[in-house]
Chains A and B, each alone.
Chain A
Amino acid sequence: MKVTFNGLPREVSHVAELLPGRFFCGIGVCFGCVAEINGVPEVRACRHPLRDGDRIRTTS
């Protein structure tokens, strides 16, 4: 998938590859993976099925 991560183009197969140290529980419980995705704040990225063109921004 070709996505934009914190403003830079990246090619990954899973959102977990973008979030080392933040992808933790994988099922939406720990909130470690919270990011802004396509303009929506506070998305638990681990629950987001990645699509081409997604814009992901970590906010904290």
Chain B
Amino acid sequence: MRVVVVGAGPAGMAAARTAADAGAEVTVVDSEPEAGGQYLRGRARLRHPGVTHLKNTEAWLVEDRTLHLRGPRQLPFDALVIATGAYDRPLPFPGWDGPGVITAGAAQTLAKQGVVLGRRVIVSGTGPFLLPVAAALQDLGATLVGVYEANSPAGWLREGKAVAANRHKITELARYRKVVRHLRTRTAVIAKHGDRVTVAKLDDQWRPVGHRTEHADLVCTGHGFLPRTDLVPEAERTHDFLNVDARQRTSVPGVYAAGEVTGIGGADLAEAEGVVAGAAAAGREPPRAALEAVRRGRLFAEALGRVHAVRPGWRTWLTRETTVCRCEQVQLADLGDATTMRELKLTSRVAMGRCQGRICARNAAELTGVPFDGQRRVVAVPIPLGELADLTEETS
């Protein structure tokens, strides 16, 4: 049984270990130099009997039962586990495409390498993930001007069941006490010009109801997450997150998914999903404890999705000249009146540049009312033509 796992974060590592323990021959493919993913970057180790770890390796195509890697190189598999995670969704506002604006995830990644790109820093967006980012920046000596949560945490009061099943999540938050005094809710950065940052108080749909100016040289932004699903463009999904059954199976035969690529619920849920996927991929019954952890974690994930959803009022933050697509310099006024995603792309060039819509497509769809079609990118990462020309003829 050959199991290939893409991604070496909490979900991928758990899937790999579980599948190997079940007797499968496991290969983990990961684009980073060390295991751990974004969450455990630099703090994890993936050494396990039966697991081969391919570092610094990007996968670009799943073709039947073969995974194509950069190189070129091909890995045949009997089961594939997609554990590629998710990345911050940035919402556009005037100035978001200029200097001094990065995603919260980028700030976190840099902080783990001891780098802060500003002295006076704002973290703005929605979700509990903003707090560890703010704490990491503060630990490195940055002045925290504010941590702005666009939603109201009062939403959690309606989520008693999810909270009761995940009490440890609340204790985790206590770790970030020292940044909580900078936390302002129903608040967001809605413009940045130089170091002048417009901070707005929002209504419950995120429409600004008043604003003030703060001075900051770095704004870190993250309005939820978008999954990295490029390897399985045809898989069924909900809001772009992969649909999975109780065995973590996707709609594509032989392909499983685990972790944030199926929904946002934190590292412990990702790990539990990894255990379930790893067992199922190796042809074993998943351990009951992991299935129970997934059930509990999903309660939390669903509550998180409700309380920290992106509200439509963000669309009023833009002016006609605000950049929507950074790669192709497409402004709000350029989007026009298309009715399908393809028409929108080919008339405005939104999502047609290097990022291939990974950053902007969802936002462009919501700004125009065009149905978001999940972005069918066939080549998951850019691959030089010379490498394509060198592909061996027979796959698996």
Contact = CB atoms under 8 A, between A and B. Distances in A.
Interface of A: 13-14, 16-17, 20-21, 23-32, 34, 42, 46-47, 49
Contact of B97 (A13, A14, A21): A21
A25 B101 CA distance: 10
Nearest to B31: A28
A20 B355 contact: no
A23 B115 contact: no
B379 to A, nearest CB: 13
A16 B355 contact: no
Interface stretch (B106-114, B244-252, B296-304): B106-114
B117 A16 contact: yes
Closest 8 CB pairs of A and B: A26-B106, A31-B354, A21-B99, A20-B99, A26-B109, A14-B115, A31-B355, A29-B87
Contacts of B107: 26
Contact of A27 (B98, B105, B355, B381): B105
B115 A42 contact: no
Interface string B80-103: 000000011010000001111111
A29 B98 contact: no
B106 A25 contact: yes
Nearest to A34: B354
Interface residues of B, number: 33
A29 B353 CA distance: 12
B355 A29 contact: yes
A4 B130 CA distance: 35
Given A16-B110, A47-B31, A27 B99 contact: no
B382 interface: yes
Given A26-B102, A29-B355, 8 more contacts: A16-B117, A17-B117, A24-B101, A27-B38, A30-B355, A30-B358, A31-B358, A32-B327
A31 B110 contact: no
Contacts of A47: 31
15 contacts: A13-B115, A20-B99, A20-B100, A21-B97, A21-B100, A23-B102, A24-B103, A25-B105, A26-B110, A27-B87, A27-B106, A28-B31, A29-B87, A31-B353, A31-B358
B326 interface: yes
Contacts of B33: 49
Contact of A21 (B98, B353, B358): B98
A6 B203 CA distance: 46
Nearest to B356: A31
A22 B280 CA distance: 41
Contacts of A27: 38, 87, 105-106, 109
